[in-house]
Structure 1
Amino acid sequence: MGTHRTTVATAWMMLVVVLGVLSAPCEGKVQRPDYDDTGTPEFLHPAWMASIPDSRSLSEVTLPGTHNTMAFYGGALTECQSWPLGLQLQAGVRFLDVRLRHVAGNLTVHHGVVYQRAHFGHVLEDVARFLLERPTETVLMRLKEEFSETGDIYAAVVGYVRRHARWDLLWHSRRTPTMGQARGKLVVLQDFSGPDLGMRYGSLDIADDWKVPTLLHVPQKWQSVHKHLAAAAEGNKARVFLTFASGAGIFAYPNAVAQRINARLYKYLSDMAGVSKRLGIVTMDFPAAPLLKMIIDFN
C-alpha cells in the first residue's frame, strides 16, 4: 500500500510540474477591480472590523476570505493566491483556508502534493502579529489535514500554537462569538477530530462546489455561488454561511476560474451596492482590493 501510494503521489507530482510549465503565463500580472495576481494589493483596509458593534454575532458579519490561503507555488494548477499572508490580512481578508500535512508531529503547508514552503508556525506568527497590531480585528481559520492521512493532528496543532503564538490567542468554544468576544482572537474552524480548539467547520452552512472540469462549466459554478449568497442573505442569522467562489479542474486552472467568477461576483455585488445585507464569508482565489472592500461594505 505504501509503495502504491508513493507511486501515485510521484505520478501526480510529475503531472503538476508538467501542467505548471505548460500553463506558464505569457503575459504580465493583472490588477483589476475584481482580480489581482500581482504581489501587492491596490490599497489596504486593515482595521475595518473596528466599526462593527461588539454585540453583533460573528455569524451576522459579512467578511472576505481566501481559498487555499498559502497556495503560492506549484504552477498554475495549484497556485491560488499571490499576496503574502500579512498583506492579505492588511487588505481586509478575515477568513483563511489552511491545509496542513502531518508527518511525525510536523505540520507543513500543502496544496495537494505541493509543499508551499511554509509550516504552520509561519501562519500562526503572521496572524498573531497582525492581531497584536490590530486588536479590533478577528481572524477565522479553517484548519484541515492535507496530503497525509493520520486523522490525528490535534496534538500537533496545540504544540504549534503554544510554540509560535499563545494559548489565549484562540477562541476556545464551539459557540459563535460576538464581535466583542472575538476581537484580538483567532477563531479556529476545526476541520479535524479532537477536543474543541474553536468552532467546528462542519457546523457552518457551506457551499464549496470546487470542481470546475473546464471553463465551459464556469456558468454552473457561478450559479452555485449566486444561490448560496442569496441563501446567506435570507438564512438563519445564528449560523455562519460560507461561500467558496473558487474552483478548478485539469482544464480550468484556479486563476482562469477566478478571473471569470470574480468578475461575475463584482458585478453582482455592484448591483446591490449601498444595501446592508448579510452575505456571510465570501472566499476567493486572487481577489482584488476593491472587491474585498465591496464585500466589507455590506456590513
Structure 2
Amino acid sequence: MAVAAAFTLPLVVPARAAAPAQAAEVAAKPGSPSPAFKTVGLRTQLNWMQAMPDTMPLAQMSIPGTHETMAFYGTAFAEAQEFKESPQKSLTMQLDAGIRALDIRVHPQGGVDGDRLHIWHGAADQKAELGSGVLGPLRDWLGKHPSETVLMNLSVEGTVDPSYCPGQDTASCMSGYFKEYVGPGKQYASLFWAPSVQGSSRAETPTLDKARGKVVLNVYRNSAGNPYSGWGLNYGTDAGYKAQVQDEYKVGTPSAITTKWNQVQAFLATTRTKRAGNLPYYNFLSGTGIPFLTPSDVAGGGSTGSGDPTDPPTYFTGVNERALGFLRTDSGERTGVMMMDYPGYGLIDEIIRHNPTSRAGTAVEQNGQLNAFVRASDGNLVRSYLPYDAQGTQGPWVQETVGATLKAPKMAGNPVATVRNDKTVDVFYRSDEGHLIEAWRPPGGTWQYADFSTSGYAPATIAGDPAVVNHNGVIRVFSRNPANNHLMESVLPTQGSTAGRWEKWDHADVTGAPQIFSSATAVVRQDKTVDVIYRTADNRVNHSYLAPGSSWKQELIPTEPPKGEGKLGEVAGDLSVVAQGSTISVFSRDAATNHLTESLLTGGVWVHTDVTAETNAPELSGSPVAALRSDNTLDVYYRSKDGHLIEAWLNSGSGTWQQFDFSNPVYHYAPPQIAGDPAIAIRPGKVSVFTQSGTGSHLTESWLTTSTWTNWDMTADNRAPVLG
C-alpha cells in the first residue's frame, strides 16, 4: 500500500534493540532433503485458504498437490511420498503441510461393504482402503480446518478383472463401487461437494465459498486415463480434459530431467496466458524412468558414477529444485495445480504464495472526506466515502459504483490512490488484461478513466499492484514490467516542456536498478525525498530514491549493516514503507521465519529489528501494511497464520514494540478471520483499518477515535460491496 505524502509527519525516533541473528539456508546436495524435496513434515500451512476471498474461483488458484498421494510402499520405483507411521498419518502430514490436491489410485478387491476399493500404485499394495485410509482421515482433517478445500483426482489403477464386475461394463461397475462411498445416505456423501459426485452429471468449477470444508472431485478416470461420464468437473470431452493437464511422466535419463522441466515451464506459461475459462490446470512435476531413475531421482536429483577416484560422481538437479528456484524469482501469479513427488516445505510455500493477492482496498482523504476504494466481487472499482451534510456533520458512508458506471476495465489487482494538489482524487489499478488503469475525479466533477498501457504511459502489461505518490505536486506511479521485471515509472510533471503530459521511465535504464519481483511501495519524506522499495530476484530489498535537486539513485539494503544493527534475512511477499521525518522504516516478512522485520534508515545507517521476536507477536501469513498516526505512533497491521488481524506499534516513549490481536473474541475489534491484507487510513486523531472478512468477503472497518476501537461490517450495512 502506498502511503500518501499528506500523512507523513515528523517523528522523534527512539533507539531500537538489535535484531537477533537469523539462520541462513544452506544449499543441499542433489538427492538430499531440502526446502524443495522430502521435507513435507517440517512446516505446517494448516489454514492458508483462509486468506483467499470466498469469491475466488478454484480454477484461478495456485494449489500444491501430490502425485500418487498414497504411494508409500513397494520398491523405490513405486514409492512417491514421505511416510510417517501409517498411510493415514502420512496423508494427514501432507494436508498439514499445505497440500490441497490429491491423486488417489484404486482397484476393487474384497473388503467390508462400503470400503471395497483398495489403494494401489501399479502392482504395489499400499495397505489402505479408500474409506478408512483416505476419506476418513480427510473428513477428520477438514472438520478441524473448515476454511480449506481439497481437490481429488480418483483413478482406477490397472485392468479390472471381470470377476469384480459380473454382468456389468467396467465404467458402470466402477461407478457403482464409488457410489458405495458417496451415494445418497452413504458414509462419505457429506464429505464431498455434492455437485461433483452426482454420478449422472458433471459440475462447473465452484468458487471457494461453496467448497470450503469439502472435497471436490476433479475427475474419476479409468485405467487408460479417460474421465468417466457423470463424475467430477465438466471438462466436456476426453480431449478437453487432457488439454488441461501436463503429465509427461517418462523421464529415462538424468539429461531427460531438463526436458521434463521444460515441459513443466511451458505448461505453466499456458496456465497463465489462458486466463479465460473456469477449469483447473494440472501440472505434474513427477516422473520416472525404469530402470534408471526413480520418482525420488526425478524429483530430488542425485548423482551418477560410483564415487571412487576413477568414477567420480556427477550430480544432476531434480525437477522440484528447479521449480523452487524458478518460482522464487518468478514474476507471474497463478501456477494452477502443481502435482509433486516428495515435495519440500519451501516448494509448497512458494506455490501458495503465488495465489492472487487480496487487500481490503486503499483509502485517501480528499477535502476532509475519507474515500475507500475496493475491488468488488464482479471485478469493478467501487468507492465508499464519508460525505458531509449541510451542517458539516460527517456520515453515513455512501457506496458509488465507479467502474461499472464508467464501463472501465475490470480489476485483477488492488487499487492504490492519492490526491493531487488541486484535490483531484487519482486511483490506479491493474486490469484483468494486465493494463495499468487510471480513474480520476476532480472536485465537483465526474469520474473519468484512461488506459496507460494502450496510451504508452506504462508497459504493455504490468504485474502485481502499482504504487503512487504525490511528490510536491508531481504524480509518480510505479509498476513492474513482467516482460523484463524492470521497475517502471509513469510520471506527470508540473513544470517544463512536458508539464501536464504523462511520461514513462525505465528505472533499469535510469539507475541500473535490479529486477523487481514484488509490487513496489513508495513514500515521500518530509524533505521531499521519494523512496521506492521492492523485493529483488534473490529476495533482497532494493531502495531507489530521489532527493531534492538530485537524480534517481538505488541501493540494496544491506543484510548486515557494517555500522548498523541487526540482520535482514531473505524477504517474502510485498513490503511497506513509512516516512518518519527524514527517516524511513521498511517492513517486511522474513522468508524463513515469517517474522515481521523493521529496517530503519536513520542518519544514513540501516538498523534491522525483528519485531516478532521483540513482541512475541504471531507469525505473518500476508504482507505487512504500515502507517504513521497523527500522534507519531508507528503502526503496522498484518494477517497472522491463523487469520487474525494483528497490530504492532512502536511506543514512542519507551522505544519498544508492542502487539495486539484485534480478532481476539474478547474485544471483537476485527472479524474472527480476515482474508488478504488490511488497508489503513490516517486522519487527525483517527485511525481506520479496513479488512476483508474471512467469511462472506465483506469489507469491515475498525476505527479508533481517542482511545476507543470500534468495528463494523460495511458490506452488511450496504455501505460497501462484497469484495473480490
Q: Same fold (TM over 0.5)?
A: yes
Q: Deviations over 1:91-128 (max 9, x none)?
A: 00000000001236821000011110001012001111
Asked if the contact 2:57/2:205 (under 8 Å) is kept, the reply is yes
Q: Is the 8 A contact 1:60 1:237 kept in 2?
A: no
1:1-299 aligned at under 5 Å gives the runs 30-36=32-38, 41-83=41-83, 84-103=90-109, 106-121=116-131, 122-149=133-160, 150-151=170-171, 152-161=173-182, 164-167=187-190, 169-173=192-196, 174-192=203-221, 196-200=230-234, 203-204=240-241, 205-238=244-277, 239-250=279-290, 251-259=292-300, 260-272=318-330, 275=331, 277-299=333-355
How many angstroms apart in 1 are the aligned matches of 2:63 and 2:107? 27
Secondary structure of the equivalent of 1:115? Answer: strand
Match for 1:183: what amino acid?
A: R
**Distance in 2 between the 1:194 and 1:35 partners?**
33
Structure-2 separation of matches of 1:210 and 1:164: 35
- CA distance in 2: counterparts of 1:242 and 1:56, whole angstroms: 18
Instruction: Give the 3 Å change call, closer, same or farther, for CA 123–77 of structure 1 in structure 2.
Output: same
CA contact (8 A) 1:171 1:182 kept: no
Q: Distance in 1 between matches of 2:219 and 2:343?
A: 24
Per-residue deviation, residues 45-78 of structure 1 (Å, max 9, x unmatched): 0100011011111100111000000000102111
| 1:175-195 CA-partner distances (Å, limit 9, x unpaired) | 100011111111012233656
Which is worse superposed, 201-210 or 61-70? Answer: 201-210
Post-superposition Cα deviations, 1:15-39, rounded to whole Å, max 9, x if no partner, equal: xxxxxxxxxxxxxx94301001x6x
Pick which of 95-104 and 288-297 moved more. 95-104
- Are the structure 2 counterparts of residues 182 and 276 from structure 1 closer, same or farther at C-alpha, using a change threshold of 3 Å? farther
The whole-number CA distance in structure 2 between the counterparts of 1:170 and 1:124 is 13
CA distance in 1, matches of 2:194, 2:63: 18
AA partner of residue 94 (structure 2)? Q
* 3-state SS, counterpart of residue 289 of structure 2: coil
Cα gap change, 1:54 to 1:256, in 2 (>3 Å): same
Contact 2:205–2:234 (Cα < 8 Å) also in 1: no
Q: 1:276 to 1:134 in 2, by over 3 A?
A: farther
Q: Deviations over 1:152-176 (max 9, x none)?
A: 3111112123654233533414110
2:661 paired residue number:
none
Give the aligned length. 268
Is the CA contact 1:171–1:186 (under 8 Å) kept in the aligned structure 2? no
Judge conservation of contact 1:190–1:197 (CA < 8 Å) in 2: yes
- Tell me, in whole angstroms, the C-alpha distance in 2 between the residues paired with 1:62 and 1:43: 19
Q: Deviations over 1:140-162 (max 9, x none)?
A: 00000012333431111121236
- Higher deviation after alignment, 103-112 or 79-88: 103-112
CA separation of 1:165 and 1:187: change in aligned 2, threshold 3 A: same
Describe the shift of the 1:168–1:96 C-alpha distance in structure 2 as closer, same or farther (beyond 3 A).
closer
Structure ranking higher on relative contact order (CA contacts 8 Å, 6+ apart):
1
Distance 1:228 1:252, change over 3 A: same
Larger % of helix: which? Answer: 1
Relative distance call for 1:63 and 1:168 in structure 2 (3 A) is closer
TM-score (norm 1): 0.84
Q: Give yes or no for contact 2:220–2:231 (8 Å, CA) kept in 1.
A: no
Q: Is the 8 A contact 2:60 2:334 kept in 1?
A: yes
Q: Deviations over 1:228-270 (max 9, x none)?
A: 0111111134231110000001011100000100010011001
1:116–1:93 CA distance, 2 compared to 1 (3 A): same
- The answer to whether the Cα contact below 8 Å between 1:64 and 1:92 also exists between their aligned partners in 2 is yes
Deviates more, 1:149-158 or 1:288-297: 149-158
Contact 1:109 1:117 (C-alpha < 8 Å) held by counterparts:
yes
Q: Distance in 2 between matches of 1:168 and 1:285?
A: 26
Whole-angstrom CA distance in 1 between matches of 2:108 and 2:36:
35
**Which of the pair is proportionally richer in strand?**
2
Structure-2 residue corresponding to 1:23:
none
The code of the aligned residue for 1:241 comes to: Y
Structure-2 change in CA distance of 1:138 and 1:237 (3 Å): farther
Whole-angstrom CA distance in 2 between matches of 1:176 and 1:253: 34
C-alpha contact 2:191 2:215 (8 A) present in aligned 1: no
User: Aligned partner of 1:71: which letter?
Assistant: A
> Secondary structure of 1:117's match?
strand
Percent pairwise identity: 34
- The answer to whether the 8 Å contact 1:34/1:291 transfers is yes
The verdict on how the C-alpha distance between 1:82 and 1:200 changes in structure 2, with shifts beyond 3 A counting, is farther
Residue type at the aligned position of 1:223 = N
Aligned-partner SS, 2:255: helix
**Mean Cα displacement is larger for which, 157-166 or 169-178?**
157-166
For the residue of structure 2 that corresponds to 1:172, the secondary structure is helix
**Larger Rg over CA atoms:** 2
Q: Which moved more, 1:229-238 or 1:160-169?
A: 160-169
Equivalent pair of 2:119/2:126 in contact (CA under 8 Å): yes
Q: 1-side partners of 2:191 and 2:229: how far apart?
A: 16
Change (3 A) 1:69 1:141: same
Greater Cα offset, 256-265 or 98-107 = 98-107
Unaligned runs of 5+ in 2: 1-30, 84-89, 161-169, 197-202, 222-226, 301-317, 356-724
Computed over aligned residues only, the root mean square deviation of the Cα atoms, in angstroms, reads 2.1
